Amino acid sequence: MIELGGLEVTFGHGQRAFHAVKDFSLSINRGQAYGLVGESGSGKTTVLRALAGLLGRVARVEGSLRIGDEVLHGQLRSRAFRRRVQMVFQDPYGSLHPRHTVDAIVAEPARVHRLDQVEARVVAALEEVGLDASFRFRYPHQISGGQRQRVSIARALITDPEVVLLDEPTSALDVSVQAEVLNLLRRLQREHDLTYLLVSHNLAVVAYLCDALTVMQHGRVVETLDVEQLRERSPGKAYTRQLLTASRGYDRAAIDAFEDFADSLP
């Protein structure tokens, strides 16, 4: 469903150019949930935005990109792509228009793509994410953070997409609310046969939701492994093992033993 080959993303020009993603390749099967993990600044979200065509003119994107049978060129995306690929953003506070009602927010993609029975679609999408019709005419500031993220998911679902790109969808939420949203995403993937590409620094989230993952550092692939290797804490690369150690929480002795991998990268 998703195939990236030799993806390169560069910001700026000349001596001031910053090479954010370097020779990145990825292949995801239809119906699979796939994770991209790594420390902050490793290029995870840049890969997601390059695929979605959201980098615009600020970046130069090279390499081959494909969704299903559609070959993608640069940052131009067709109307068909915009319908079949949707994105859920990290910040449920910033990704919803504060002066639009929930009804207007969820309905907007359906109206853009000229879908029929918009009102019925809105009600159905909200019900699928656990929000009843009483939420339709509330504003984002009148609902909780978890409810906002459910609205974001409903907005993504209303076009009946095949692929959903998830950019840290639970990182801004409380732990108990994170669990609810993750259970929701898992159920929706199963019921709609969705393909997920999830960006996260939280390895527990990836282990719960994904089948396989790619570890990134400084814009490059460190290694690709399945979720069982992650759960068994048996990755092949030292950097990934260190990332797993860091995910357990603060441990001064472990941190003192950490290696700096930056110098070893080409």
Q: What are phi and psi of 106, to 5 degrees?
A: -70, -35
Q: Where are the alpha helices (DSSP H) in the chain?
A: 44-52, 79-84, 102-112, 118-128, 145-157, 175-192, 203-209, 227-231, 238-247, 252-256
- Average pLDDT of the chain? 88
- What whole-number distance in Å separates Cα of residue 55 and Cα of residue 185? 26
Give the global pTM: 0.90
Two tokens at 164? 């959903």
Give me the amino acid identity at 136: R
Please determine, for residue 265, whether its predicted confidence score (pLDDT) is greater than 60: no
Q: How long a stretch of residues is the chain?
A: 266
For residue 26, the domain's CATH number is 3.40.50.300
- CA 53 to the chain's CA centroid: 14
Q: Domain count of the chain?
A: 1
> Rounded CA gap, 181 and 62, in Å?
34
Contact 222, 237 (CB under 8 A): yes
CA 226/CA 224 separation, integer angstroms: 7
Weakest mean pLDDT among 12-16, 53-57, 262-266:
262-266
Domain containing 117 equals 2-264
Write down the pLDDT at residue 266.
Answer: 46
pLDDT number for residue 252? 58
Residue 23 CB partners (closer than 8 Å, separation 6+) = 6, 7, 8, 220, 221
> Residue 119: which residues within 8 A CB-CB, separation 6 or more?
107
pLDDT tens for residues 126-145?
Answer: 999 999 989 999 999 999 98
